[in-house]
Structure 1
Amino acid sequence: MRCASCRRGLDHCHGTVVLHGSGDFGGVECTEPDCVDVEPARHLFVIGCGSVEGGCACAAVPAMS
């Protein structure tokens, strides 16, 4: 079974785009290793890095001293 976008020949990715807000990481990445275009419009799912299981280093709030 193929997805509707595959059947229509649309340019898309089956991965999830992860949006990083700050820190050393910044930017966006995709969960699919073969993804070459991380444009959110090409992806069905887009999440903030704070929603990633286990968290993300750039989403951590620095401790105040």
Structure 2
Amino acid sequence: MEESTLRSNCQIERIGEIIGMSEKFAFILINEKRIEVPLTKVAEGVILGDFVVWTGSCWNRKTIL
């Protein structure tokens, strides 16, 4: 999925870190809170330790500079 084609209307960018993965879920740490997200809402290729950003339809890998 291309981040440029998927944009959220949200004013606040939600960034989290993948802290765990199972067969069906990814566990994302956002502001010290752990959330469970179905893998269908996580971009292909995201791995443990990646930072991700919500695009309005899925969590995509975030490039941290």
Question: TM-score higher than 0.5 here?
Answer: no
Question: Based on CA coordinates, which of the two structures has the bigger radius of gyration?
Answer: 1
Q: Shorter chain as normaliser: what TM range?
A: under 0.3
